[in-house]
Amino acid sequence: MKKEVDYIIVGLGLAGIAFTEKLIENQKTFVVFEDDSQTSSNVAGGMYNPVILKRFTPAWNGHEQLEYALPKYKKLEEKLGVKFDSKFNTKKVFSSIKDQNNWFVALDKPNLSNYMQTEIEKGQIEGVNGDYGFGVLNGTGRVNTELLIENYKSYLKEKNSLLEEKFSYEELTISEELMYKDIKASKIVFCEGYGLKENPFFNYLPLNGTKGEILTIHAPELKIDFLLKSTVFVLPMGNDYYKVGATFNWTDKTSIPTEEGKNELKEKLDKVISVPYTIVDQSAGIRPTVKDRRPLVGKHPQYEKLAVLNGLGTRGVMIAPTVANSLFNYLEKGIELDSEIDIKRFS
């Protein structure tokens, strides 16, 4: 039986969900393909923070992205009937007096004063090594991406809009209308994460891919209710469990956890906390990163019914809703994309 839709979406990570939501908002019909081959959204820490703590600089459009994204996630929580957005402070462990001074200098930068507290927290935190004190960020938090994706899949299944199978590029026929097997569509949007490397239409784009590994630990004596940020992050998950991450590996392109990744995280963690812990899990995924640290958004240079939404990198939770909105307006209303995200910059 033939099916006719406005859009085919390939991939249901953060990008795929954000674009699907735009279609629903605008009464567009669609079908989503997801084969669970990419795990970057599932294993992501999911934190949102508009301040780059390594350099105390604002993340690219971070403030604006958060202002747009957080209400979207709130609506999604209400629709799905599940809470996946947790708000908490972030405490940056200062490593030196210079680190403290850089914090104060950054307070004068536009938008940063909205998030950075002016007073340094100098008291000791039990179980945490912080001789130089802590810088505190407001307005940060975490989206539980695994919970979001799991519930969104169930939502799409109920609407008969999800096909849990691998998309076969060879079976796509491109003419006035797109035909894929028995599905006719007006447009197709590829949101495949690092899987884009296998896509014959968009694999020319410079998607590098960076492997990240994360540990889950059980530390009953570590009683923190904020995100602790040093050379690793320590993220409270409840019941004395914490996520610890993350590594950055530019050569290994597998989603298999490694002993090297575990040892690197353990070595860094041991310098941050001083209480015993047990490693209970380890996960890995390939972040879809781009050399200029900007997303990949736009139409195929030859086939304009084919579009891409990818390259969200390490801040996908913040970026996804904004770029999904930009792509929808481009495809449906002809509103030009920002040149910083348009894939024409690589054509």
pLDDT confidence of residue 227? 96
User: Is 90 exceeded by the pLDDT of residue 108?
Assistant: no
Question: Is residue 1 pLDDT above 60, yes or no?
Answer: no
Both tokens of 322, joined, read 């904004």
Q: 186-233 pLDDT, tens per residue? A: 999 999 999 999 999 999 999 988 999 999 999 999 999 999 999 999
pLDDT confidence bin for 41, thresholds 50/70/90: low
How is residue 135 written in tokens?
A: 């810088």
**Half-sphere exposure at residue 131, Cβ-oriented, CA atoms within 13 angstroms:** 4
> Could you report the per-residue pLDDT of 138-189, keeping only the tens digit for each?
999 999 999 999 999 999 999 999 999 999 999 999 998 899 999 999 999 9
- How much is the average pLDDT of 249-261? 93
| d(C-alpha 255, C-alpha 40), whole Å | 9
Q: How far apart are CA 78 and CA 84, in angstroms?
A: 10
Q: SS3 for 153?
A: helix
**Span 273-300, pLDDT tens digits:** 999 999 999 999 899 999 899 999 999 9
How confident is the model over 32-40, as a mean pLDDT?
80
User: pLDDT class for 44, splitting at 50, 70, 90?
Assistant: low
**CA 325 centroid distance within chain:** 16
Residue 12 pLDDT grade (very low, low, confident, very high; cuts 50, 70, 90)? very high
Work out the angle between the directed axes of helices 316-333 and 62-80 (0-180°, nearest 10): 90
Q: Which two tokens stand for residue 147?
A: 């919970």
Contact 210, 248 (CB under 8 A): yes
Q: What is the mean pLDDT of residues 33-53?
A: 79
Q: Round to whole Å and give the CA distance between 166 and 164.
A: 7
- Domains along the sequence of the chain with CATH: 3-43+146-206+291-346 (3.50.50.60), 87-141+208-287 (3.30.9.10)
Sign of CA dihedral 119, 120, 122, 126: positive
Q: From its phi and psi, is residue 251 left (phi > 0), alpha (psi between -120 and 50) or beta? A: alpha
> Can you state the angle between helices 62-80 and 145-158, rounded to 10 degrees?
50
Residues 6+ apart with CB under 8 A from 236: 88, 224, 225, 226, 227, 242
* Rounded mean pLDDT, 42-54: 82
Residue 214 contacts residue 281 (beta carbons within 8 Å): no
Are 243 and 216 in contact by the 8 Å Cβ rule? The answer is: yes
Residue 150 has which token pair? 């799991």
The torsion angles phi and psi of 128, rounded to 5 degrees, stand at: -120, 135
* pTM of the shown model: 0.94
Mean per-residue pLDDT, 261-270? 97
What is the percent of the chain with per-residue pLDDT over 90, rounded to a whole number?
86
pLDDT confidence of residue 211: 92
The token duo for 305 is 């019914």
Is the pLDDT assigned to residue 98 strictly greater than 60?
yes
